[in-house]
Amino acid sequence: MIRYAIFGAGGFARSVMPVARQQLAASSELYDLAFVVDNASSAELNGQPLYAYDAWLALPAAARFANIAIADGEVRRRLVERCRANGIKFFQVQAANVVQWDDVVIGEGAILCPFVTLTSNIRIGRHFHANHYSCVGHDCVIGDFVTFAPGVHCNGNVHIEDHAYIGAGAVIRQGQPGAPLIIGRGATVGMGAVVTKRVAAGVTVVGNPARELHSQRQSGA
C-alpha cells in the first residue's frame, strides 16, 4: 500500500484534504490518505484517518508521500527535513480547475488550491502554497517555502525570495524585464496591501501603498 498524508489539522490542512482526495481518486494504485500531526487527539478528522507522526510511520507501506499543509514556511522547512530523514517523499496537491499555461516549473510539495492561476514562464521553488483564487503572473520567480494566502494577485516580473508570506488579497505591482520587483527573504506582506516597490528581507509591509509596519507606528499612522 502507498501511504499519502496531509501534515497538519488546521483550517488550511482541512481545506487541502478534499483536493488531495479528489486528485488521488483517479489513481489505480492501492493507497491510504490520512491527516498526520504530532499529537493526534482522535482517530479521524472529517472522515479521514488521523495519525500521530510516529504511529503513521509505523504502519506498513510500500512507499510514503507527504504534503505539508501548514502556512508557516519555517515550520514547513523543519517538517520537510524530518520527513527526508525518514525516507518520506513529497507529492503535489493541485485542484482540477487550476489554470497553468506555458513553461511553468514548480518544485516539489506544492499546494495549488481551487481557482489558482499560473500564467507563463514562471519558476516556483519547493513547498509553495497558493491558496484559493491566487494568481502568479508571467516571468515571476518564487523561492522555497513561500506562502500565498487567498486572493493574492502577483503581477508579472516579480521575484519573491524564500520564506516570504503574502497576505490575503494583497496585490504586487508588475516589475520590468531585467528589473523585477523583489520581495525579500522572509518578508511579510499584510492582508490587502498594495506593493508598489521593493520589500526588504525580513520586514512587514501593510497598507496602500504598502509601507513598513514600524514606520507607520513611528509616524502615528
Which positions are annotated as active-site residues? 138
Given the DSSP bridges, would you call strands 48-52 and 44-45 parallel, antiparallel or unpaired? Answer: antiparallel
Cα 131 from Cα 151, distance rounded (Å): 7
The strand pairing partners of 37, in sequence order, are: 52
DSSP-derived 3-state class of residue 6: strand
Q: Can you spell out the DSSP letters for 91-137?
A: --EE-TT-EE-SSEEE-TT-EE-TT-EE-SSEEE-TT-EE-TT-EE-
CB 154 within 8 A of CB 174: no
Using left for φ > 0, alpha for ψ between -120 and 50, and beta otherwise, residue 2 falls in beta
Cα 41 from Cα 43, distance rounded (Å): 7
Count CB atoms within 10 A of the CB of residue 174.
Answer: 15
Question: φ and ψ at 119, to 5 degrees?
Answer: -85, -115
